Structures are given as C-alpha cells and as structure tokens.
Amino acid sequence: MTIKIHKNYIAGEFISSDHLFDNINPIDGSLISRVAEADQAMVDKAVLAAVKASSGEWSAISLSERCKILRKIADGIDARFDEFVEAEIADTGKPYKHASKIDIPRGAENFRFFSDLAKTVSTECFEMDTPDGNGALNYAIRKPMGVIAVIAPWNLPLLLLTWKLAPALAMGNCIVAKPSEETPGTATLLAEVIHDAGVPSGVFNLLHGFGPNSTGEYLTKHEDIDAITFTGESATGSEIMRVAAKDVKSLSFELGGKNAAIIFEDADFEAAIEGTMRSVFSNCGQVCLCTERVYVHESLFEKFVLELKKRAETLIENWPEGQSMNLGPLISQEHRKKVLDCFNRAIDEGGKLITGGGVPKFSDTRKAGSWVEPTIFTGLGEETSLLTDEVFGPVCHISPFSAENEVIDTLNSTKYGLAAAIWTKDLQRGHRVSRQLEVGVVWVNTWFLRDLRTPFGGIKLSGIGREGGLHSLDFYSELTNICIKL
Ligand code: NAD
C-alpha cells in the first residue's frame, strides 16, 4: 500500500520536502501518512508569496466577491465532508459523532459566518465641531493587516484553524498557516478546497512542521509577518511573544486553561452531573474549555462524587466509527506520558483516586494506541499540581465548599483565566457570581454553548485578545480614521 504524503501548499502549488515525518494514528499506533516538513527556504518562499499577493489581487477584490469565495470554500468542505471526517478521525482518534457533528460542520460554518458578518459590519463616524463653525467629519475604514501567520493546535484541528482563517481572509489579508504536526490531514484537504475555490495564488499558504527549530519558529520569527494568531499552550504563547517582540508584531493568543465548575446546593442535580460529564470528558478532556477543577457544595459532595464516578465508568473507549464510542484516545504517546505523570504526581501528593488513573486493557490493536482511563480525584489541596497546572486529559478533581465567597476566591486563585461553569437554579446568584470570576467565558447551567457572535478568549495565562464576531474582524483589520475638515 502506498503511504500518502501531506504536502505544503505554497504560491498555489503542492510541494513536498526533503524531510518527511510520520503521522501516527492514536487509536492503534499505525502509520496514517507521511508529512513534508517545511524548512527555512520553504517558509521564506511562502511568506514572499503572501507578501506579493497582499499587495495585489486579494485586497483589491471587492468585499462581496471575497465573501462569495469564502462561501465557496464552505461548500467545498461540505462536498468533501466524508473525506474531512475520515482525515480528522484518523489524526485524532475522536468519535465519529464528534467529528461529523462538531469539527467538520463548524469548519464550514466558520467561513459562512464570517462571510455574512463581514458584509454587514459598519465602522464609526463622528461629526465634530470646529472653531470656524463648519465642522469636520471623522470616519474609520478597515484595511487588511498584511501577512498573517496562523498557528493552530491539534485538539479541534479544522475548527480552530478555520476560526482564524475565515475572518482573516474576509478582511483581505494573506495567510501562511501551520497546523499542528499531530494533525496535518484536514488542513491539507482544506488547502485543496481553497485552491479549487479560486483563491488567487499566494493568498493562502500552508506549511507543515514542528514548533521549535522548525517551521513554526521560522514563521513567527519572519520579519515580513505582520501579525501572529496562535492557539496552543501558554508556554508556547510566551515563547512566540518573546520572538515577536523584536518587530512588535500584533498578537492574538488563545492559550491553556485550568477551568472550574461550581455546583451550588440549589443546582438541578441531574443537569449538573450531565453537564460536568461533558465538560470533563468531551474530546477525552482535550478541549481548552474542559473542566479540570470541580467545586461541589458540601451538602451534595458525597452524592456528586459517587454519581460522577458511576457515569465515568460507563464511558466507552471503542473504535471511532462505532456509535457506542464516547471517549477517544489522547493525541499521542508523548501526551499520554504527560497525562499519566500528572496522575502519578497527584497520588504522590496525597490525592484519593476515585476512578481510573491508568491505561485501559484491550485485546486488539488498540493496545498500541494512546488510551487512558477517565479519571477522578478528590482530597488534594489547592497548591498541588493537579489543581494548579493544565493536564489536558480526561480528568477532574472534586473539592467540597461551604460558602459562595470562599469558592469564588478559590476559583480565582489560579494563574489561568479561560472559562467557568456555574450550576444553580438561583439566577440572581448566577449573575452575581459570574461577574466576580476572573475568566473570559462563564456558562450558567450549561457548558460549551457557543454563539459565534460573542467574545471568546481568556485572561491571565489563558490568552490575549478576543475572537468571535466583530472581535475577530477587529483583530484582522487595521482601522484607519479619516478626518475631513468641512
Ligand atoms: P502547542 O503549543 O504545543 O502547539 C500549538 C501549535 O504551535 C502547533 O502547531 C505547534 O507546532 C506550534 N508551536 C509549538 N512551539 C512553537 C514555537 N516555539 N514557535 C512557533 N510555533 C510553535 O499546543 P498543542 O499541544 O497543540 O495544543 C494544546 C494546548 O492548546 C492546550 O494548552 C490547550 O489548552 C490549548 N488550546 C487553547 C484554546 C483556546 O481557545 N484558548 C483552544 C484549543 C487549545
């Protein structure tokens, strides 16, 4: 069987490289494909193509024409839906229902959403008084920023890549994108769809490779990159910020989290359990918004721990195509080692293991995959590593609390600030507590319910800036004020 090679897409052409690396299936450790790592010369070529394109056709094309092309890209994803689903599942091992209901449809929807929004958005206009009485008129226009480096992670590969690409293209920018080395599949298919949709050559370029001393670093260091939009680990964000400081590049960062859920004594118990199951174990805990710290009112604590344990033990780690599968593997053996080290450290630090903590037993080829058991701990103090550091796996720690102000202080005592979920029937409390939490997104009686028009992002170590709706368009455009003396 010939092994597929994922190529780079530069200046409208698909190009391999001298260095190929393996793309491994986390379900069973098998080889899916080989990936062409872009070296410094290829990064230079892609950036040059984008620079040339940015001073030419793309920004000169009318907004409505650009938006039509974005909708064509969405239609192109729909037309090859099954291929996209298959590639996303092969790279990540996630359940079919997750890839086919969330990842791929949202990938297409991101293009439609920003195409519609870009056409309706207005800018500011201020009439001002002047001493001669004639006045002046100020109005703002949006211009493209130029060439944008888009760097994406592996957990929601197509969804998070297109969440950046669509608004950046809508605003007339040119792109050099790098997907995660773990998930090259859907990004390469997307390059084919973009090519077929008639996007002029050089407007969108795709490079494969790693981060440090590889494609990612060469790209973020490049002096002709005007802005960097990055989703990934906080430590990587910090390193990119250091590198970008020299040229004072614009930055948009969506980084790690250590998100909490609070279950108050008046919560709808079933809804809180069901919501917490989703928020802890969705995508095997590999969503930046996943809950890793759960605080339950002391009156419900024992009952909640028992019920969450019972349900966690019913999760099915099956083959992705099976309808029964609701927990996939971790992304790689390397990530599994990190997650298992976190579990072992939690035990060393005195944590009580309620369920899981190890690797599931299989009698087939899944033995060579990157699986881990859904895991719950209790009994740890706030200063221990399981409560301070992001794990990014199917795990939570559950702590009891007695008073509202105490749990708010505890929740805020982390270096991260991405998301929180509150479960209560008292909406006064829902409003009151939400505004005191140091996070960018709060859900009350739900989790991961997303309206794409709303601001999305984190504070502290969880990021810089906001994406979503107008906030994305603001980042991907330079607003210029024009003042006309009348
Ligand atoms: P990562 O930081 O390891 O890698 C992300 C991307 O950055 C990859 O494409 C990688 O190759 C590249 N990269 C790594 N080092 C680089 C460097 N020095 N220079 C340039 N590029 C570099 O993150 P990951 O492991 O792929 O993703 C998981 C992390 O992403 C978690 O921390 C998770 O919380 C976070 N995340 C955050 C959000 C959010 O919206 N806040 C969403 C998804 C994931």
What are the phi and psi torsion angles at 197 (to 5°)? -75, -5
Nearest protein CA to atom 9 of ligand 1, as residue = 180
Task: Please tell me the distance from the alpha carbon of residue 291 to that of residue 259, in angstroms, as a whole number.
Answer: 5
How confident is the prediction for the chain on average, in pLDDT? 97
Q: Given this model, what pLDDT does residue 58 score?
A: 84
Mean pLDDT of 232-250: 97
Distance 30 CA to ligand 1 centre (A): 24
Q: How far is the CA of 291 from the centre of ligand 1 (A)?
A: 18
Contact between 468 and 456 (Cβ < 8 Å): yes
Atom 28 in ligand 1: which residue has the minimum CA distance? 232
Atom of ligand 1 nearest to the CA of 237: 2
Residue 232 Cα: closest atom of ligand 1: 30
Separation of 116 CA from ligand 1 center, angstroms? 29
* Protein residue with its CA nearest to atom 8 in ligand 1: 180
Residue 153 Cα to ligand 1 middle (Å): 5
Cα 56-57-58 angle, rounded to 5 deg: 105
The CA dihedral of 351, 356, 359, 363, to the nearest 10 degrees, is 160
Q: Is 178 in the pocket of ligand 1 (CB under 6 A)?
A: yes
pLDDT tens across 335-380, in order?
Answer: 999 999 999 999 999 999 999 999 999 999 999 999 999 999 999 9
Instruction: Write the DSSP string, 383-396.
Output: TSHHHHS---SSEE
Q: Which of 21, 151, 182, 441 has most ligand 1 atoms within 8 Å of CB, for mutation?
A: 151
The pLDDT tens digits of the residues spanning 178-200 come to 999 999 999 999 999 999 999 99
For residues 284-311, average pLDDT: 98
Mean pLDDT, rounded, for 31-41: 98
CB atoms within 10 A of CB 427: 10
Q: Which atom of ligand 1 is nearest to the CA of 181?
A: 11
Angle between helices 157-170 and 63-79 (to 10 degrees): 160
321 confidence band (pLDDT: 50, 70, 90):
confident
- Phi first, then psi, for residue 328 (nearest 5°) are -90, -175
Q: Could you report the per-residue pLDDT of 138-157, keeping only the tens digit for each?
A: 999 999 999 999 999 999 99
| DSSP character string of 313-355 | TT-----TTSTT------S-HHHHHHHHHHHHHHHHTT-EEEE
Give the integer Cα–Cα distance in Å for 97 and 236: 31
pLDDT, tens digit, 9 for 90 and up, residues 80-138: 999 999 999 999 999 999 999 999 999 999 999 999 999 999 999 999 999 999 999 99
pLDDT greater than 90 at residue 59: no
The pick from 106, 155, 416 for probing ligand 1's pocket by mutation, whose C-beta has the most ligand atoms within 8 angstroms, reads 155
